[in-house]
Amino acid sequence: MTADTTRPLSAPAARPESARLFARATDLLPGGVDSPVRAFGAVGGQPVFFERGDGPRVWDADGNAYIDWMCSWGPLILGHADARVVAAVTEAVARGTSFGAPNRREVELAALVRDAMPAVEMMRFVSSGTEAAMSALRVARAATDRDKIVKFRGCYHGHTDSLLVDAGSGALTLGIPGTPGVTRGAAADTLVAEYNDLASVEKLLDANRGAVAAVVIEPVAGNMGVIAPAAGFLEGLRTLTTAHGTLLMFDEVITGFRVGPGGAQERYGVTPDLTVLGKIIGGGMPVGAYGGRRDLMAMVAPSGPVYQAGTLSGNPAAMAAGIATLRALAEPGVYEQLETTAAALEIGLLDAARAAGVPLAVNRAGSLLTPFFTAGPVTGYAGAMAADTERFGAFFRAMLDAGVYLPPSQFEAWFVSTAHGDAEIEATVTAARRAFATGA
Ligand code: PLP
């Protein structure tokens, strides 16, 4: 812990350089950002421009320090600029950033993934979670010769057309249930079920017999805030999909190597046919992957007819970051440490809220958590929607001014890293107490 986090918790930070950059950015980039939630639209105020990160902390363009619980939306499970990751990437980059030809690191990372997730018998690396989900869907449709898919209200799988219907994350945060530019055909092929409601899935599968290629789910919902699967829910999906000849696709872009080394499929003991990965397996570099049963993945070109390709896929820099991250996560005690840190944060936030009489429900799955401003419980989409987003916005702004950077939306996960410890929790809970005391 350096002296930076001991800066006064109550002094609103001046951010003139961020303001100047944002003014320029709005002229150059739509909304001034390259991804919608970054714009602070749901919480008010102006986005903070980051200059650098180290461990659990980031510094903005004006030199203000923040404890970062957003951690680039999940990839940075080791915190910012982890020395092992930096060394691996530096070494790789010095030998060339991209070959557009096979390199040994792809093989090494694939082996590490399969060791941890045996159901991912074969995989293909791509450059984002969006690309991975889109490509996995193509395989599912090709394998089943069916067009329709079932997804869940509030779940997010990247911005490919058919998965944007009733999507979570930025679409939910900004109140965009569908988006212009998605064809009617894509929307019509997407059936929407309710998370943690098996009957809603059964109804759709029954009404669309022989037509549904895949049921696609975040096994722990993370993009309407964190919601864990109810007992029996994922098992029920496995049984239903098998009975209907429909593939079960787990989007583990967030949960992969996060809720445990083998992701949600290991934590909850349910084996999907296809798995979508991203974030942690790229250690903070642009990466995604999709994989699963050998017979399904063998359909992907060039071994099969399903076309999918990528100029930068499997590039050595991203592979090196992923390998270094997965190796670090394989050290003994890492997931126990993450669990302990996240549990302490959960308890601290709950205590602070209780003391101030603020209704707060904290949902947590391993090192993912979301404090919902509602008495709860939050077990599905409707429960999440009951949260007080105005109050979250006030809380977010108070925390930001106290030097704590949170995901700028009520409907997102906070990401705990191995770099976070007692000092960060104490500072965060102290800031939360003050925020609650002032009505935020
Ligand atoms: N799937 C899930 C569960 C995600 O949370 C995200 C992004 O946050 C994606 C897919 C899309 O990944 P990317 O932003 O890398 O395209």
158 Cβ closer than 6 Å to some ligand 1 atom = yes
Note the pLDDT tens digit of each residue in 208-256: 999 999 999 999 999 999 999 999 999 999 999 999 999 999 999 999 9
Mutation choice for ligand 1 from 33, 125, 157, 265, CB with most ligand atoms inside 8 A: 157
Give the pairing type, strands 190-193 and 148-152: parallel
Given 68, 82, 189, 251, the catalytic residue = 251
Give the span between the Cα atoms of 245 and 89, in whole angstroms.
43
Asked if 193 and 204 touch (Cβ cutoff 8 Å), the reply is yes
Mutation choice for ligand 1 from 253, 258, 287, 415, CB with most ligand atoms inside 8 A: 253
Closest ligand 1 atom to Cα of 255: 3
Note the pLDDT tens digit of each residue in 310-367: 999 999 999 999 999 999 999 999 999 999 999 999 999 999 999 999 999 999 999 9
Given 60, 148, 195, 279, the catalytic residue = 279
Note the pLDDT tens digit of each residue in 266-324: 999 999 999 999 999 999 999 999 999 999 999 999 999 999 999 999 999 999 999 99
Q: Other C-beta atoms within 10 Å of 420: how many?
A: 26
Q: Is residue 177 very low, low, confident or very high in pLDDT (cuts 50, 70, 90)? A: low
- Between the CA of 196 and the centroid of ligand 1 the distance, in Å, is 20
Note the pLDDT tens digit of each residue in 27-51: 999 999 999 999 999 999 999 999 9
Say whether 251 is catalytic: yes
- Between the CA of 426 and the centroid of ligand 1 the distance, in Å, is 30
Q: Is residue 13 very low, low, confident or very high in pLDDT (cuts 50, 70, 90)? A: low
pLDDT at 408: 97
126 Cβ closer than 6 Å to some ligand 1 atom = no
Q: Express the helix, strand and coil content of the chain in percent, nearest 5 each.
A: 40, 15, 40
pLDDT at 170: 72
pLDDT at 168: 76
Give the span between the Cα atoms of 264 and 416, in whole angstroms.
17
Say whether 279 is catalytic: yes
